Amino acid sequence: MLVRIQQAVLWCAVNVALLASAPAMAQPATTSDVPLSDRRVEYTINATLDVENRTVTGRQRLRWRNPDRVPVSELQFHLYLNAFKDENSTFMRESGGRHRGFSASGDNRWGGISIDRLERVFGETSATVAAPAGAPVDLTDSLRFIHPDDDNFDDQTVAAVTLQRPVMPGEWVELDFEFTSTMPRIVARTGWETAEDGSTFFMVAQWFPKIGVLEVPGQRFVPDDATRGEWNTHQFHANSEFYADFGTYDVTLTVPTTYTVGASGVLREESGAAMRQGDGTRSVRYVAEDVHDFAWTAGSSFLDLSDEWKHVNLRLLLRPEHSGQAQRHFDAARIALEYFERWVGEYPYTTLTLVDGYGGSNGMEYPTLITCGTLFGLPSWLRALELVTIHEFGHQYFYGMLASNEFEEAWLDEGMNSYLEARIMDAAYGEGAVVDFPGLPIDGTEQHRLAYTESRPGSGALFTRSWEYAPGDYGKSSYSKPATVMNALEGYLGADRMTEFLRTYYSTWRFRHPTTEDLQDVAEQVSGEDLDWFFDQYVFGTSVVDYEVSLIESDSSGVAAASVVTVSRLRDGTFPQTLEVTFADNSRERATWDGLGLEHRFEFSRPVQSARLDPDDVLPLDINKINNQLSQRDTNPLPAKVGLKVTSWIQVVAYVLSGIL
């Protein structure tokens, strides 16, 4: 016990020394003088990176406030790294060891996290447990693994502990963890990889014991009249990301002196007097506020570059072989910041770190830190770098500040973000925003539409728990399909009302974990109409849109209408339709239809030469644009249709190639 008290005193002394040596005008973590979130949890972590053994050893003080109106006697935690412990985890069983095209093999493949000690700081007393006032109580042996989503008893990504003395409503509980995280070889988001110069790169994510979310009555899907809250702690699945409460992080990292560190939050201390180790290591201290996660990276070969945008310090950790693309990263980040501020709302944090990582670590988001990645010699006409940077930054809003439950409603993050990413790409770069190759331009909106229409558009509702999608449906239904659905909603509402909807959604629900129903409520509030017809079909359902101009009939007798244009609905999805016809003198006329029936006949007083549905191209959900038009002059429309189809397939191939790059 004496040794443990000495360790605790030393730990406190280090933190006090850090605070004492902090700059008088330390950079704030946010632009706000008051908390932006309810801050249900506080983390103080001291961690050391062992490069040779690829481990992170840590000591963590976790403070958690009971938000419920009843006492809580059980706490639940995520131990995400155990997804990479062996082949028996739920993640490995579902993924087969592959994620987004990456797999890990060879030596030092596996990772995991072990809880070496867990204590309740201020002790507890009951009929069965007695501890002196203020003395810690060892809970290590009380920790057990649970499996909320399946019967895989080998999965160790969620743990629970029962407290003898419950945490009362509004009360804080303090827990001390000692843990060891063994980093896996990167397969999905986190781990280590060998850099070109032979050094070891680390992306350290989901690396510490993280408390789950206790959803209280009235929060998300817990009924208002429920007697108590419910823990929401899903296992780490192949097709899931993360969900956590907002809080604060005070993290001190000790790494080799040759290593550069990038992390969530703001740098408060670096190799101060209290932190000099004299053993070839240095320590850095980062503080993050009003966030629900903390990640960091470390490597010895980064180019460490900086820039700024308004109140945001931009930092780029770039692999040397990609040095020629530094400006592209910064330009894309500034574009993302500018458009999100204009269309959604303020970015309240004061830092943004861009990381050019390795393999499966790229294309991922964490609070104020994103992994972008690029490719040596990436041509300027292929804006994969810009797309990924803008997309990953957008997660600072949907994953970060809105923080919907990515396990249960992945589309609210990935899909909404994909929609904004495409909208920004198109606004910033114009035609050929994504692929600007002569003769084969692909813009942001069209790339998502192509990915949706060419991959079983009738399967996979957006509102589906991420691990319950049929094989192949998660990516489509979380990214390209919701992006296309939201583009269709913009076409229906108009760009101005869509922007009002986005800004209202963000201002109403940031830091509050909204649901799909909450998003629909905001859309209806802004539009002033019931949108059940839209959400029931394309968010909660799997309806598919396909309308066709099937026939143009002319009558020159003067008895009947001069022309009748027949429009048919070929699939189950319905959507209001606009038809534009062109007459012999090249004048035009438009007519509308509610799109509900299987067929509708439009009558015109003059002979119609051609007819086209959706003339303003505001309905990207229509899976076949080829049959949207018909001309009397087309004696054989087959060649034109084949040509359009070939062009469409070429665009698909180009899109797929851009995704691989």
CA angle 350, 355, 357 (to 5 degrees): 160
> pLDDT of 213-238, one tens digit each?
999 999 999 999 999 999 999 999 99
What is the reported pLDDT for 86?
96
> pLDDT of 438-455, one tens digit each?
888 999 999 999 999 999
Query: SS3 of 42, please?
Result: strand
CB 362 within 8 A of CB 372: yes
What is the reported pLDDT for 123?
60
Evaluate if residue 262 carries a pLDDT over 80: yes
Residue range 259-272: mean pLDDT, rounded: 92
Q: Which residue has the higher pLDDT, 648 or 362?
A: 362
Beta bridge mates, 130: none
Evaluate if residue 200 carries a pLDDT over 70: yes
Written as one letter, the residue type at 151 is: D
What is the reported pLDDT for 100?
75
Nearest alpha-carbon partner for 215 in 243, 174, 173? 243
What is the reported pLDDT for 122?
82
Residues of 594-618 as b/e, b for ≥16 C-beta within 10 angstroms?
ebeeeebebebeebbbbbbbbbeee
The two tokens of residue 29 are: 């973590």
**Rounded to the nearest 10 degrees, what angle do helices 481-493 and 495-509 cross at?**
120
Domain ranges across the chain: 38-251, 338-538, 547-636
What is the reported pLDDT for 554?
84
Sequence-ordered strand ranges (E) for 237-350: 247-256, 260-263, 266-270, 281-291, 296-299, 303-309, 312-318
What is the reported pLDDT for 255?
97
Look over the chain and give the mean of its residue pLDDT values, rounded to a whole number: 90
Nearest alpha-carbon partner for 423 in 399, 406, 440, 448? 448
Evaluate if residue 14 carries a pLDDT over 50: no
What is the reported pLDDT for 107?
77
CA–CA dist 418, 335 (Å, integer): 15
H/E segment holding residue 43? strand 41-50
Query: SS3 of 521, please?
Result: helix
CATH class of 547-636: mainly beta
Nearest alpha-carbon partner for 580 in 590, 570, 595? 590
User: What number of CA atoms fall less than 13 Å from residue 301's CA on the CB side?
Assistant: 18
Q: Do domains 38-251 and 547-636 have the same CATH topology?
A: yes
> pLDDT of 455-508, one tens digit each?
999 999 999 999 999 999 999 999 999 999 999 999 999 999 999 999 999 999
What is the reported pLDDT for 69?
97
CB atoms inside a 10 Å sphere around CB 33:
6
CB atoms inside a 10 Å sphere around CB 8:
16
Evaluate if residue 652 carries a pLDDT over 80: no
CB 292 within 8 A of CB 244: yes
- Dihedrals φ, ψ of 139, to 5°? -110, 10
Which residues are CB-contacts of 320 (< 8 A; sequence separation ≥ 6)? 196, 301, 303
CA angle 168, 169, 173 (to 5 degrees): 55
Question: Which is the CATH superfamily of the domain at 338-538?
Answer: Neutral Protease Domain 2 (1.10.390.10)
> pLDDT of 98-151, one tens digit each?
887 778 777 789 999 999 999 999 865 444 445 555 689 999 999 999 999 999
What is the reported pLDDT for 101?
76
CB atoms inside a 10 Å sphere around CB 559:
6
Evaluate if residue 164 carries a pLDDT over 50: yes
Evaluate if residue 25 carries a pLDDT over 70: no
Q: Which residue is associated with the tokens 């008893």? A: 153
Q: Which residue is associated with the tokens 């933190």? A: 15
Expressed in angstroms, the distance from the first to the final Cα of the chain is 56
The two tokens of residue 478 are: 């979380």
> pLDDT of 248-260, one tens digit each?
999 999 999 999 9
Q: Which residue is associated with the tokens 């851009």? A: 658
- Fold adopted by 38-251: Immunoglobulin-like (2.60.40)
> pLDDT of 303-351, one tens digit each?
999 999 999 999 999 999 999 999 999 999 999 999 999 999 999 999 9
CA 371 to chain centre: 12
Going 639 to 642 to 646 to 648, the CA torsion angle's sign is positive
Evaluate if residue 643 carries a pLDDT over 80: no
Which residues are CB-contacts of 327 (< 8 A; sequence separation ≥ 6)? none
Query: SS3 of 300, please?
Result: coil
What is the reported pLDDT for 46?
98
Sequence-ordered strand ranges (E) for 570-635: 577-583, 588-593, 599-604, 608-613, 629-631
Question: Does the reported pTM lie above 0.85?
Answer: yes
What is the reported pLDDT for 11?
42
Evaluate if residue 2 carries a pLDDT over 90: no
Query: SS3 of 22, please?
Result: coil
Least confident range from 267-276, 385-394, 593-602: namely 267-276
* DSSP string of 191-243, one letter each residue: EEEE-TTS-EEEEE-S-S-EE-EEEPTTSTTS-TT-SS-EEE-----TT----
CB atoms inside a 10 Å sphere around CB 397:
23
What is the reported pLDDT for 648?
52
Least confident range from 49-58, 477-486, 636-645: namely 636-645
Query: SS3 of 545, please?
Result: strand
CA–CA dist 3, 606 (Å, integer): 96
Alpha helices in 430-580 (DSSP H): 444-453, 473-475, 481-493, 495-509, 516-527, 532-538
The two tokens of residue 283 are: 């320590």
Binned at pLDDT 50, 70 and 90, residue 277 comes out as: low
Query: SS3 of 520, please?
Result: helix
Residue range 552-578: mean pLDDT, rounded: 88
Beta bridge mates, 251: 45, 286
Alpha helices in 354-413 (DSSP H): 384-395
